[in-house]
Amino acid sequence: MANLATQSYVVAMPDDERERFLADEVRSLRATFPDGGLDEPYVTALTIAAHPD
């Protein structure tokens, strides 16, 4: 939920709509994963550019 709550489309929702949306997601996840565990893998890329002096 922490990841979902930071997505721009969720952050941009009006407060009451966002609260309903997140509450619905919590209910759905609890029904699907009743033990409370969920692994959500993701990949992060880092690109570094060096400026020649």
Boundaries of every domain in the chain: 1-53
* Confidence at 53, pLDDT banded by 50, 70, 90: confident
Residue scoring higher pLDDT (38 or 34)? 34
Q: Do 5 and 13 form a contact (C-beta atoms < 8 A)?
A: no
* 1-30 confidence digits (pLDDT tens): 788 899 999 999 999 999 999 999 999 999
Distance between CA atoms of residues 49 and 46, nearest Å: 10
List Cβ neighbours of 5 (8 Å cut-off, separation of 6 or more): 11, 22
